[in-house]
Amino acid sequence: MPAWPASAPLPTTWPKQPEFLRTDAAGLVPGHSWFSPVRSPNSARSRPSSARRLRAAARNADRIRAAPATDTARSGFSVLGEHCWQHDGMDVVGLERIEAAAELLGPVIRRTPVVASRVLSERTGHEVWLKCENLQRTGSFKPRGAYNRIANLPLDVRAGGVVAASAGNHAQGVAWAASSLGIESTVFMPVGASLPKLAATKAYGARVRQVGDTVDEALDAAVEFAQRTGATLIHPFDHPDIVAGQATVGLEILAQLPRVGTVVVPTGGGGLLAGIAVALHHLAPDVRVLGVQAAAAAAWPDSLAAGRPVRAASMSTMADGIAVGLPGAVPFRHVAEHVPTMLTVGEDALSRALLLCLERAKLIVEPAGAAAVAALMSCGPEELGLRGPVCAILSGGNIDPLLLTRLIGHGLSSAGRYLAVQVTISDRPGRLSGLLGVVGKTGASVVDVAHSRIGAWLALDEVEVSLTLETRGPEHRDDVLATLADAGYVVRVQD
């Protein structure tokens, strides 16, 4: 997208909608069944008028006071040792701030579709819809908060540029937003950041610097850079303007699904969850909001129990987009007040959810983006406590193709459709074909065979055979293992 100078007026036309998101007169995506309507992003309600945009800009200008030196002082927030923001007394996020963000973002952010999921509806007994933020600009919800935060910076602060730290989605959101507003951006990313996300961040216009092995180390470098150069640090979740920008997802859900009863939200630092919770609290207080974290990187349950942000004890999950060690102070205030339930999901559930989105919804999502679907698939009815129509947010779709390949295999294995085993057999002619003959009778398809005579546990007349089999589900998988055992084989199942 071409640079948008800070002094230029907002555009007066809605961005052209991609062909695959256009709807017919009935509000349906061409080719979708009656059960999969998508509300039209080109409806009159979704296009803010010029007057409304001017009012939003005026309100935003009123909130930005002339101030000394730093944007931190100007905003009324101070930096903590953990690089979070501490509230200094002003009303953090209210409905007026969210509505102003919606009017500001209207001309530049896509109103992403909601798509019905028959398989999840049948599984949960509730009408389930997917809010496709994986189809948002840059592939996630992040540009909403990033653009709102950067657009609200005073002109003199914009001149110093902005800086961020991220391994992916926030980096791309900041790079896109800054370029759209004609502002220089610098993004610090870990050395191990995936090549597609690194290339995308550069393509959106940011200067990328790779520092350290973790996002925390990159954030330390970004803070030092901001202090040294005067650039404004754009935190991924811990600022009121970020929360207000992410809250526009909630406004869209209410416009697209007026009868919604439950909203399920992938949760990392808490900006998206807090924003949606505040928006729904003001406009639809009866809607139940559920947060979802990866069980292997879940800081929120302990934090809510302690009444303050508490650092997670462990951080080891495939869902790197929600792997945040410490909840933000600003999101925590709102989540603690408005979100009574935080769910956690395991790695197998995440991989199965990613596979379901790919196979059944034809949508590519990253593991973090599939967390809400994973909760609907793996959590029990009492734990979920669903009410009315359900909206599960697909928060992002930025995934390395190599990782996607591995996760598809992991998901197939978790769903009982792949089976990897090791079998020790006698090293005599015909014994391998005998083993494969037993497998063939079960109806399993052999994907790969590895035959090895090397192993300290093997006798001189033994070989180890590793088989990868394609099965038709958990029951068929168990039948294959039982048949091999009945034939006298000792089988070791590989994870």
| Catalytically annotated residues | 142, 395
User: Shortest CA distance to 35 belongs to which of 113, 115, 111?
Assistant: 115
DSSP assigned state of 185: E
Q: Give the Cβ contact number of residue 38 at 10 Å.
A: 21
CA distances to 205, 274, 279, 304, 342 from 293, in Å = 31, 14, 21, 13, 7
Q: What share of the chain is helix, strand, coil (3-state, %, to 5)?
A: 45, 15, 40
Q: Give the Cβ contact number of residue 431 at 10 Å.
A: 14
Spacing of C-alpha 45 from chain mean position: 27
Q: Give the Cβ contact number of residue 272 at 10 Å.
A: 31
Sheet with 341-345, side-by-side order of all strands: 114-116, 128-132, 390-394, 262-266, 288-294, 341-345
State which H helix or E strand residue 139 sits in: none
Alpha-carbon Rg for the chain, nearest whole angstrom, is: 25
Residues in Cβ contact with 445 at an 8 Å cutoff, skipping those fewer than 6 apart: 469, 470
Say if CB 388 and CB 126 are below 8 A apart.
Answer: yes
Where do runs of H (alpha helix) occur along 339-489?
A: 347-359, 371-378, 381-384, 401-414, 431-442, 474-486
What are 371's strand-pairing partners?
Answer: none
What are 420's strand-pairing partners?
Answer: 468
Say if CB 462 and CB 452 are below 8 A apart.
Answer: no
Say if CB 180 and CB 4 are below 8 A apart.
Answer: yes
CA torsion angle 400 272 253 49 (round to 10): -100
Distance between CA atoms of 469 and 493, rounded to whole angstroms?
A: 11
